[in-house]
Amino acid sequence: MEEQRLLPMPFSEATPSLPETTRNKLAALLVSFRSPAMISSNLTTLKSEASTHKSSMQTKWAVANDTAVLHREYITNCMRVTSAESKRKESAKKPEAFQSRMAHAKRFSQIPMSKCMRDLCKEEDYTFLNSLGKQDESLKESTCLESKCQEKQDERIRRRQEREQLEREKQHETEEQQKEKDKQWKSHVAELAAQRKALRAKLDRLREFRDFQKKVVLQDLGLDPGSANESVKHLLMRL
């Protein structure tokens, strides 16, 4: 009865926020140990662990709070920089908008119309002229695009014409070379034919001269022209 009265009550009242693991250790110690001295020493150890855990948790919470403060300061600075940048851009856009408005007003004033019509169109002139400006810009862009497309097409046509011209020149050169070869071959064949004809004529003349020479030799020797004499042939060969 004394152990049941001393063990659980003081520890549970002193440390109500212990973690689950510490409470499990406490339950195991209460079951395993029956000595009051041992239980009190274990209770002291558990209390020191609980205080250490509490101090570590306080340190973690302090670090988390510092991190949150730094994060809030960083977000605040970013928002300030963003707002300053947006204000600067808006202030830079104002002169451009004013200049555009003045240009539209000047263009509207140059349109010929009556005073009544001008008073009626006074509130709508900026939208009207803005649409005209956009049409002019789109027309300029389309004209520029068409000119670029035309330039590219002209460049392609020029390259194709140059390529066709080179092919025609190459073909003409090949035809001229073939004609020159044919001409040279024909002239060579004609030259060979003329040489053959000249050789045949020369051979005929030599034969006629040989026959005449044989006839003269036979007449000088007093022999019959139709006789076949070896001495006469030998003499003719020597001549």
Q: How far apart are CA 231 and CA 209, in angstroms?
A: 19
Tens-digit pLDDT profile for residues 65-80: 777 777 777 788 777 7
When mean pLDDT is compared across 20-29, 30-39, 195-204, 224-233, the lowest value belongs to: 30-39
Helical H runs in 110-124?
Answer: 115-120
Task: Work out the mean pLDDT of the chain and round it to a whole number.
Answer: 72
Look up residue 53 and give its two tokens.
Answer: 């855990």
Give me 170's structure tokens: 């190459």
Taking residues 135-162, report their average pLDDT: 83
The confidence band for 195, taking pLDDT boundaries of 50, 70 and 90, is: very high
